[in-house]
Structure 1
């Protein structure tokens, strides 16, 4: 393993060791910390301490204490547990459960960045677990059995954490509302993130637990669509959108969202609290019922597998750091004594906030991101870790600040007038050493010969050696401090080939003087790399990473082939099928055209991670219709509206029909019921319409009984000459010839059935190997009775599935692909 650099030194804080700062907000900062108990008991937790800049503000202190008091009463698997509320050197802190994982904001941004497909079961499972946590908080009672009426008031993606073990946790009750809390919200003051407020919260009206459910419905909408719901050009615009509840249905952004789920989202976003779900239980039950109806089954194991696959590199890096901290001989501390009076470099500094840009998230009063639970970790060699003792006792040297590192920058070996950082009292730190000591050989000073005349000279030489050794030792202990700030704000920082940080910047790191290679990495951006010789001084690196321009390719196929292709208005020389390469855009407009067919245009989202494909079936401008019947030689008539445009006897073909029109086809035959259908041209140049005629039920004439007595005809009876009747159906029909009985064919009793087809994901439907040109869902599709082959295709999701179905006359059959 290459040398990872100098890890920050654990800082005693009350009865805890602060290992590293993992986040900072407007009100507090959060550290990964370690606590000790008897018999070698150890616990990894998070310590949230109020910032020194607001430590004297009574209002903030009250809010901070209220958070601990409210959350401390809650004990639920889906709420981050509070362990301790204390005060060290006048600074309040909260010790809370350490959750190794990522917040939903990070999941959202990663999914958008890499074009990840939305997993509806995963999103529903996460929201259901948040509902369970909120239900516990909303219905919590005090010791006397009185409702606490807790309202979180800041439900947002930043405050929902997913652990690497598949747990879902609600955090940050910093502005929660509860019965009997100390701090009160002033009139006209809005608390929370604007984009996730409820209409009543925006208007400053009374809020109850249903306000949290509105905020959670916003989170559900955004995770299903990967689009921000209420985000205006300014805070005022955002608040106006929420007040009016201006939104588009989620299926507009994600057509794969079933209607049942969309109804749940829209109900959760009801403008009035009475229009929403009334409890968290009701919200969760609706999602659970939807999951059951869709046949979805999702557990924490599935979520854990997703998290570990998505953030494998982060887990590895945290494991490596954890092994290092595990190797230190940290001693239990006396919590009654304040031991922290100063901050080391890179810990406890209040960092500047970066400006919002692009798909921004509203700033929060405290983003409690608590990183990376550590389980079984990889072995690490302690000798690879370089530890900085007395980090606060190095020389303070001038800071070199510039936007980019410059190879021609002059570095001084030593500052002109170094001054020690000893002007402020420093805390006495316990002895901290790696478990395995490196061997060092110290050259001792030979004992001098006792001579009276040389005693003073010997003392002077020893004193000189001590001074020289001190200077050399101090130079050896001196470190180069890197202060790194980037845009985008969250990046991976690699120094000398080792990842030392993955998260928000500004970030401070100490490294040995000498040759150093600094790399900044972020998925979707061009990596930054610089190698320079560093001296014992402070360097500032401000770097804006360039978005990575990744190319995509798409295969365009048409039916029929040989069509002309245009992409974003640019005509290509090669006809279809053709692969278009080196596309730099995220979307493309593709138009195909062919003589005799209508032009087709598609808006395509391009995926740079894999080849894209587009299949377009062209619709002809003119079509031919072949009309057949069973039995044949029936009279047919074709109407365009009320106008008869063709007539004849089956089988026959009508050519040159306008493919944009609908035609009514009537088939008639003596002794059979009339047959009528509407023909709507689709994608076939020649379509076939077969009429299955049904014999009339009363075709046989009634037989009159005969007798031996001859009767005279009634003089009032009118004689009918059958030969002169032009329309036999209007007269008494003669009996059929007995010598030629009609041949009964199976087709004569054939009818039609109904077919309903649904698929997840959406698919194109082929019936008996013929492309219908339609996509699922298809409802009430009339189909000729009999056996049929149904094929569902979607190349994007590698779907190519075939079903065989036998539809009886008047029967309805369903095909559902999941």
Structure 2
């Protein structure tokens, strides 16, 4: 759904540094749900400044769509490390695995405890803690990445309601059951990562998605020492507590996990260091480091000076969307792999560029150089005294006195008089309305300058609880439709895995050539996953029965 590029950023003093540019694929650039989720990721990431969280520098927009400028981390994610160790026939050294997970838990705990400007908890839940989203740099740093599907207080639901978000093997039991999740759901995922690093084996690993979801829902965890006898009892207790089926039996916070892991390491001297982890990474991925350095040198040699580009190609300054922590934007780029994420298309490195490849690299560098020109111009051209306009916000009568309003992140409280009339800066604005028992309502608007108000009628929806849905058919490659929408094409034999909203009704239809269509009405209930086996009747058999 997005691609990651490598780029250089130059600040006003001329100092350069490498950054990663995550850009929405053109095919999704006009999808309002995905665009809002992408912007939420950037805005949330911009607030999370911590040594063990990959830093977000800027949210911007170019002609092809939105992008995020992030901290560039030369290294490998824990999934790559896990696979390398599995091929080598031995798990990661126990001390280093515990050391790395303790740092990851620190970053996660910081995100969970993040507060807004009023000191109120943002209630951040990452919802996708997994080895793919934890990067270990060649310098021994551990960073949590990709808050693409994270939820925080004030963020509305994003994406299609019929999809379970996250990687099935690292979901918590309550997440699979479609129940509300909190920080303890991320603690469970952290426990899965720790289990797998210590044992060198997958914890929840079935032949089908349905089997994996059932394994997670039941959460019957085999003690890790049975798979790796070198795991001490004290460490096993930490792992199993993090993996408790019921949230109440788990650690209450990722910070508690980090504390217990450090206590374990302190009782097993010598204590690991960042330099020791760096040496391990450099030895494990020596060949990859050399190849990456070669690509980096080629990339730096291919950069284009933005001042040499035609001025008529510059992106309008008004389209630059800097974050509060915004910095310079990339000058040149190369589609080299940074660290693939669930929302980033995996990029593979080819051989060293030949002349034709070099021309393509120069063109790619020039395209990102446009962003640098736009970014610099955007900061220079921001008006010091923006024009003013008026915003008129209203809610249904039953929510008056209960709903709270915020504009561009500024909390205006719960107005006593409705509709709410507020003077704001003219131009783009983000209006948010929250109310008890309702999903947050968020909408971008453009406030016109002058005295004519821009009206927003906020309609916060009742909170939706998702119920997992798994459908198997016979024949296995039958076409599936849900409420008239094709969710699995004919000829695909995989199980369909999705979700429905509790308390609603849905119509499931299965079709296949030579078979009579099968229609079933579904009534999902909270806490009761739907497992459907749809067996279609052959038309030949049906005709025989008629005769």
Q: TM class by shorter-chain length?
A: 0.5 to 0.7
Instruction: Render the CA deviation track for 1:186-219: whole Å, top value 9, x for unaligned.
Output: 6553100000000010011011001000000000
Q: Which residue number corresponds to residue 71 of structure 2?
A: 97
Q: Structure 2 vs 1, CA of residues 370 and 310 (structure 1 numbering), >3 Å: closer, same or farther?
A: farther
- 8 Å CA contact retained: 1:159, 1:367: no
SS of the aligned residue for 1:161 comes to strand
- 8 Å CA contact retained: 2:244, 2:250: yes
1:285 Cα offset (Å): 1.2
- 8 Å CA contact retained: 2:26, 2:64: no
Q: Structure 2 vs 1, CA of residues 90 and 300 (structure 1 numbering), >3 Å: closer, same or farther?
A: same
Partner Cα distance (1:367, 1:326) in 2: 23
Partner Cα distance (1:116, 1:82) in 2: 35
Partner Cα distance (2:358, 2:298) in 1: 18
1:118 Cα offset (Å): 3.5
Partner Cα distance (1:428, 1:158) in 2: 26
Q: Structure 2 vs 1, CA of residues 115 and 102 (structure 1 numbering), >3 Å: closer, same or farther?
A: same
Q: Residue 306 in 1 paired to residue 298 in 2? A: no
Q: Structure 2 vs 1, CA of residues 56 and 252 (structure 1 numbering), >3 Å: closer, same or farther?
A: same
Q: Residue 189 in 1 paired to residue 166 in 2? A: no
SS of the aligned residue for 1:32 comes to strand
Q: Which residue number corresponds to residue 314 of structure 2?
A: 337
Q: Structure 2 vs 1, CA of residues 258 and 429 (structure 1 numbering), >3 Å: closer, same or farther?
A: closer
- 8 Å CA contact retained: 1:101, 1:370: no
Alignment equivalent of 1:366, drawn from 333, 343, 349: 343
SS of the aligned residue for 1:294 comes to coil
Partner Cα distance (2:128, 2:278) in 1: 25
Count of aligned pairs between the two proteins: 342
Q: Structure 2 vs 1, CA of residues 429 and 227 (structure 1 numbering), >3 Å: closer, same or farther?
A: closer
- 8 Å CA contact retained: 1:193, 1:364: no
Q: Structure 2 vs 1, CA of residues 368 and 55 (structure 1 numbering), >3 Å: closer, same or farther?
A: closer
Q: Structure 2 vs 1, CA of residues 293 and 47 (structure 1 numbering), >3 Å: closer, same or farther?
A: same
SS of the aligned residue for 1:192 comes to coil
Q: Structure 2 vs 1, CA of residues 231 and 392 (structure 1 numbering), >3 Å: closer, same or farther?
A: closer
1:280 Cα offset (Å): 1.3
1:286 Cα offset (Å): 1.1
Name whichever structure is richer in helix by fraction. Answer: 2
SS of the aligned residue for 1:80 comes to coil
1:57 Cα offset (Å): 1.2
Instruction: Provide structure 2 residue ranges, at least 5 long, that are not aligned to the other structure.
Output: 317-332, 371-547
Q: Which residue number corresponds to residue 39 of structure 2?
A: 65
Instruction: Render the CA deviation track for 1:282-310: whole Å, top value 9, x for unaligned.
Output: 11111111112223410111100111111
Q: Which residue number corresponds to residue 149 of structure 1?
A: 123
Partner Cα distance (1:294, 1:428) in 2: 49
SS of the aligned residue for 2:267 comes to helix
SS of the aligned residue for 1:313 comes to helix
Q: Residue 133 in 1 paired to residue 107 in 2? A: yes
Partner Cα distance (1:239, 1:196) in 2: 10
Alignment equivalent of 1:243, drawn from 191, 206, 217: 217
SS of the aligned residue for 2:61 comes to strand
- 8 Å CA contact retained: 1:159, 1:368: no
- 8 Å CA contact retained: 2:74, 2:137: yes
Partner Cα distance (2:91, 2:216) in 1: 27
Q: Which residue number corresponds to residue 74 of structure 1?
A: 48
Q: Which structure: larger Rg?
A: 1
Instruction: Provide structure 1 residue ranges, at least 5 long, that are not aligned to the other structure.
Output: 1-26, 340-345, 350-362, 373-383, 394-425, 431-818
SS of the aligned residue for 2:257 comes to helix
1:364 Cα offset (Å): 6.7
1:78 Cα offset (Å): 0.3
1:329 Cα offset (Å): 5.8
For residues 495-534 of structure 1, the aligned pairs below 5 Å read none
Partner Cα distance (1:262, 1:89) in 2: 52
Q: CA RMSD in A?
A: 3.1
Partner Cα distance (2:38, 2:253) in 1: 27
Q: Which residue number corresponds to residue 576 of structure 1?
A: none
For residues 173-252 of structure 1, the aligned pairs below 5 Å read 173-184=147-158, 189-252=163-226
Instruction: Render the CA deviation track for 1:344-397: whole Å, top value 9, x for unaligned.
Output: xx9889xxxxxxxxxxxxx9742488999xxxxxxxxxxx9754489479xxxx
SS of the aligned residue for 1:86 comes to strand
SS of the aligned residue for 1:232 comes to coil
1:110 Cα offset (Å): 0.3
Instruction: Render the CA deviation track for 1:86-113: whole Å, top value 9, x for unaligned.
Output: 1100401001000000000000000010
Q: Which residue number corresponds to residue 403 of structure 1?
A: none
Q: Structure 2 vs 1, CA of residues 257 and 58 (structure 1 numbering), >3 Å: closer, same or farther?
A: same
Q: Which residue number corresponds to residue 146 of structure 2?
A: 172
- 8 Å CA contact retained: 1:80, 1:171: yes
For residues 656-671 of structure 1, the aligned pairs below 5 Å read none
1:231 Cα offset (Å): 1.3
Q: Which residue number corresponds to residue 250 of structure 2?
A: 276
Partner Cα distance (1:241, 1:389) in 2: 47
Partner Cα distance (2:194, 2:90) in 1: 16
Instruction: Render the CA deviation track for 1:713-761: whole Å, top value 9, x for unaligned.
Output: xxxxxxxxxxxxxxxxxxxxxxxxxxxxxxxxxxxxxxxxxxxxxxxxx
Q: Which residue number corresponds to residue 385 of structure 2?
A: none
Partner Cα distance (2:156, 2:170) in 1: 25
Q: Which residue number corresponds to residue 563 of structure 1?
A: none
Name whichever structure is richer in strand by fraction. Answer: 1
For residues 530-679 of structure 1, the aligned pairs below 5 Å read none
1:429 Cα offset (Å): 8.8
Q: Structure 2 vs 1, CA of residues 61 and 251 (structure 1 numbering), >3 Å: closer, same or farther?
A: same
Partner Cα distance (1:428, 1:238) in 2: 41
Alignment equivalent of 2:96, drawn from 111, 118, 122: 122
Partner Cα distance (1:261, 1:392) in 2: 51
Instruction: Render the CA deviation track for 1:525-546: whole Å, top value 9, x for unaligned.
Output: xxxxxxxxxxxxxxxxxxxxxx
- 8 Å CA contact retained: 1:100, 1:370: no
1:316 Cα offset (Å): 1.6
Partner Cα distance (2:343, 2:56) in 1: 16
1:42 Cα offset (Å): 1.6
- 8 Å CA contact retained: 1:161, 1:171: yes
Instruction: Render the CA deviation track for 1:480-537: whole Å, top value 9, x for unaligned.
Output: xxxxxxxxxxxxxxxxxxxxxxxxxxxxxxxxxxxxxxxxxxxxxxxxxxxxxxxxxx
Alignment equivalent of 2:7, drawn from 33, 36, 43: 33
Partner Cα distance (1:100, 1:392) in 2: 23
Say which structure, 1 or 2, has more relative contact order (CA 8 Å, 6+ apart).
2
- 8 Å CA contact retained: 1:172, 1:368: no
Instruction: Render the CA deviation track for 1:225-274: whole Å, top value 9, x for unaligned.
Output: 11110111211111111111023111111011111111111100011111
Q: Structure 2 vs 1, CA of residues 428 and 231 (structure 1 numbering), >3 Å: closer, same or farther?
A: closer
Partner Cα distance (2:230, 2:293) in 1: 38
Q: Structure 2 vs 1, CA of residues 205 and 44 (structure 1 numbering), >3 Å: closer, same or farther?
A: same
Partner Cα distance (1:428, 1:306) in 2: 34
Q: Structure 2 vs 1, CA of residues 233 and 92 (structure 1 numbering), >3 Å: closer, same or farther?
A: same
- TM-score when scaled to structure 1? 0.39
Partner Cα distance (2:94, 2:181) in 1: 30
